[in-house]
Amino acid sequence: MKTVRTAIQLLTIFSSETPAVTVSAAAARFGLTASGSSRLLASMAASGLIQQGPDRAYRPGPLAYKLGLLYHSHNRLAELVNQGARKIVLETGLSCWVSVLTGTEVMLISRFPGQVDQGFHVDAGNLLPCNASAAGKALLARMPADQARKLLSSGKLPVWTKRTKTDLPELLVDLANVRERGWSIIVEELFLGLTSVAVALSAPTEPTPMALSISMPSGSRGANQVVKAIVALRRSAIEIAGMIGDEFWATRTPASDTTTLTREVKKYIGHS
């Protein structure tokens, strides 16, 4: 089972920033010997999950490509969420990410770049901690409270900045608030100088909820830019909900009065 877990973790390394992995890099990443790393990569290549190039480095193989195509062709939620992300980029000018929860981490599965420079770059394929990311909190809030508590209690939560929350009661309060209002927010909990907001969607016919998230420099335009981002996310979530049967969002309406929303954002920013 350990070998299987390592193989799965190795696949998450691949991204546009890391298109290839060498034997030595995999060995260093997972604490393997050179021979152990070589055997694991060769075994994965034999199955078609990865393939070795002329430079001896390994890249995603035909089986991984086939599985990706099957996932997207049969996942109506993914298709609609990606469409929603494109609309949000056009509306806000900010980059939008689509994410799923995998254990205590969030995997970014799609990135839709905006025109506004956000001062950082995180691409599809990267893993982020669920306790320190807006997408992670939005996805955790779609779980039953006891299930989210159990997951967050399963191990030591990572610290990414001095503002990262690792206290379980504090995180559970955050999740309770997200369940009530629908959107999540983090202020410099993942990257200093960065504020992020997110919503999560769930379809009865799909096993994996997905999150839409937007990030922006903290304090660049105060709470107003954050509120505009939340309004865009809410509108997209409500629109998608009607097509996938997401009861949480289907019963909500787009915010016409942003006074309460602005007050909630300012309160969180002030307490963070």
Output the pLDDT for position 28. Answer: 87
Element (H, E) at 264: helix 259-271
Percentage of the chain beyond pLDDT 90 is: 35
Q: What is the spatial distance between Cα 226 and Cα 240, in angstroms, rounded to a whole number?
A: 21
Please give the domain boundaries of the chain with CATH numbers for all domains: 2-66 (1.10.10.10), 75-271 (3.30.450.40)
69 pLDDT above the threshold of 60: no
Instruction: Give residue 206's pLDDT.
Output: 75
pLDDT band at 239 (very low <50, low <70, confident <90, very high): very high
Question: Where does the pLDDT of residue 68 fall: very low under 50, low under 70, confident under 90, or very high at 90 and above?
Answer: low
pLDDT at 223: 79
Locus of tokens 């907001």: 197
Q: What burial letters (b/e) apply to 173-204, b meaning 16+ CB within 10 Å?
A: ebbebbbebbbbbbbbbbbeebbbbbbbbbbe
- Does the pLDDT of residue 256 top 70, yes or no? no
Between the ranges 22-31, 69-78, 182-191, where is the mean pLDDT highest? 182-191
The yes-or-no verdict on residue 32 having pLDDT over 80 is yes
